[in-house]
Amino acid sequence: MSAATGTLDRRAAVKALLADRGDLLVISGLGSSSYDVFDAGEHSGNFYLWGAMGGAAMVGLGLALAQPKRPVLVVTGDGEQLMGIGSLLTIATKQPGNLSIAVLDNGHFGETGMQPSHSGLGAKLEVIASGAGIGNVSDIADMAGIERFRASLRDLGGGPRLARIRIAAGEVERALPPRDGAYLKNRFRGHLGFKVS
Amino acid sequence: MDQIAAHQDSATSTDWPVAIYRTLKSFGVAQVSYVPDAGHSKLIKLSHADAGIKTTVLTTEEEGVAMVAGAWLGGDRAVLLMQSSGVGNCVNMLSLMASCRFPLLTLVTMRGEWAEFNPWQIPMGRATPQALEIMGTTVLRLENPDDAEEVISAAASLAYDGDQQVAVLISQRMIGRKKWTKETH
């Protein structure tokens, strides 16, 4: 159980991941992942999920297929990805080279009282992703690994990628992004040059 | 008797999947995702054969709801194909579409209604319209193959121009009786 527990500070890890982001588009999963992405720097190319538990990777897939020339990064947690675990198989069938998934894995359901998750109880998300057919997987436990992953994101032919990022399980102060879904949608589409109808 | 019924069904319904496909093309649909269903098999084949449509098989229907949202964020119009038994799987994910006013067009082939032989299909089939409506999704019915273009076109306008979530329930009568075995009975 303790094997899954990491030491990386989630805020520092996500901030490093999004440094010099260029034309990166980011989808963040429900819960702390959305707070982390917001805390790293507000950006109109961010779409924060405040619901849709289990759906972050699939929002990322639909976006990646629609925008094949832009790198797309899904930042989510182990619990959120576990609820949509089948989406890893679906993503693998399409092999979108521009899609990357960063799973912030603290082995717990952090938003709901820190119950141990399947990941904390032994499941290995990067191995599951590999078995699903995602060829480019990594298990990251230090900032050097984060830097290597960040540098790979702009290679549009290298995905799909999944990185399990071992973060510490401690509580972090909340940083709350906007919650209005229609606003976030229109802002994101505006970033890509689509007008509000 | 069943053979005659199946023959009549296929005689009247041969081209409705083609009519749906053409209508979706006329609306510029660029992504199709699906959980397979026999009633959708022709449309799925047409979609896979079309290089202008990115076609994705799902492990479960709610994946497709989230995918439609992502497609729209990126400027693609998408359609989700499923059977009525999958509608129940989508209920919470429909919150995403309502909260963000994402367009959703889903085409649902019905089970559990017309000449259903499997009692296990009936509860979800009966609850399908309500399961959609409780989440704010507009429900349209396609009962007659000749109406395919008109109904799909109306649903697509409601979704893509009106920013609504719309489901078209395709009558089991149009799909025909399921042949349970290769022997006639």
pLDDT at A57 over 90: yes
A113 within domain boundaries: no
Chain A, residues 91-150, CB within 8 A of chain B, namely: 93-94
**Measured between alpha carbons, how far is B140 from B129 in angstroms, rounded to an integer?**
9
pLDDT at B9 over 50: no
Q: Which domain holds residue A150?
A: 2-107+129-191
Question: Is residue B172 helix, strand or coil?
Answer: helix
pLDDT digits (tens, 9 = 90+) for A59-72: 999 999 999 999 99
Percentage, residues of chain A above pLDDT 90:
92
Q: Which residue of B has its CA nearest to A53?
A: B93
Confidence class of residue B179 from pLDDT cuts 50, 70 and 90?
A: low
pLDDT at B4 over 50: no
Average pLDDT for B54-66? 98
**Measured between alpha carbons, how far is A75 from B71 in angstroms, rounded to an integer?**
18
The verdict on A50 touching B (C-beta cutoff 8 Å) is yes
**What does the pLDDT read at residue A197?**
78
Tokens 């089939």 label which residue?
A: B125
Average pLDDT for A101-107? 97
Rg (Cα) of chain A, in Å, rounded? 15
**What does the pLDDT read at residue A196?**
86
The verdict on A68 touching B (C-beta cutoff 8 Å) is no
Contact check, Cβ <8 Å, B100/A184: yes
Q: Report pTM.
A: 0.94
The verdict on A60 touching B (C-beta cutoff 8 Å) is yes
**What does the pLDDT read at residue B181?**
62
Q: Give backbone dihedrals phi and psi of A138, rounded to 5 degrees, phi first.
A: -145, 160
Q: Which of B48, B63, B68 to mutate to test the interface with A (most CBs of A within 10 A)?
A: B63
- Terminal CA-to-CA distance of chain B, rounded, Å? 8
Contact check, Cβ <8 Å, A87/B59: yes
A121 within domain boundaries: no
Tokens 């089948």 label which residue?
A: A86
**What does the pLDDT read at residue A2?**
44
DSSP designation for A79: H
Chain B closest-CA separation from residue A7 CA (Å): 32
Which residues of A fall within a CB distance of 8 Å from B63? 55, 58, 84, 86-87, 90
Structural domains of chain B in order of their starting residue, each with its CATH number: 2-175 (3.40.50.970)
Question: What are the b/e assignments for A135-169, b being 16+ CB within 10 Å?
Answer: ebbbbbeeeebbeebbebbbebeebbbbbbbbbeb
The verdict on A156 touching B (C-beta cutoff 8 Å) is no
The verdict on A40 touching B (C-beta cutoff 8 Å) is no
- H or E stretch covering B156: helix B148-156
Question: Is residue A149 helix, strand or coil?
Answer: helix
Number of structural domains found in chain A:
1
The answer, yes or no, to whether ipTM is higher than 0.90 is: yes
pLDDT at A95 over 70: yes
A119 within domain boundaries: no
**Measured between alpha carbons, how far is B152 from A66 in angstroms, rounded to an integer?**
23
Contact check, Cβ <8 Å, B54/A197: no
Task: Name residue A143's amino acid.
Answer: M
pLDDT at B69 over 90: yes
The verdict on B162 touching A (C-beta cutoff 8 Å) is no
Cβ contacts of residue A97 below 8 Å, gap of 6+?
A68, A155, A156, A157, A158, A159, A160
**What does the pLDDT read at residue B175?**
86
A112 within domain boundaries: no
Confidence class of residue B185 from pLDDT cuts 50, 70 and 90?
A: very low
Q: Where are the alpha helices (DSSP H) in A87-134?
A: 87-94, 125-132
pLDDT at A4 over 80: no
- Please say whether the beta carbons of B133 and B139 come within 8 A: yes
Q: Which of A28, A61, A70, A93 to mutate to test the interface with B (most CBs of B within 10 A)?
A: A61
Q: Where are the alpha helices (DSSP H) in chain A?
A: 10-17, 32-39, 56-66, 78-83, 87-94, 125-132, 143-152, 181-191
Closest by Cα among A192, A176, A193, A191 to A48: A176
Q: How many helices (H) and strands (E) does chain A have?
A: 8, 8
CATH number of the structural domain spanning residue A151: 3.40.50.970
A116 within domain boundaries: no
Confidence class of residue B14 from pLDDT cuts 50, 70 and 90?
A: low
A11 within domain boundaries: yes
Confidence class of residue A170 from pLDDT cuts 50, 70 and 90?
A: confident
The verdict on B52 touching A (C-beta cutoff 8 Å) is no
The verdict on B32 touching A (C-beta cutoff 8 Å) is no
Lowest mean pLDDT among A131-135, B19-23, B181-185: B181-185
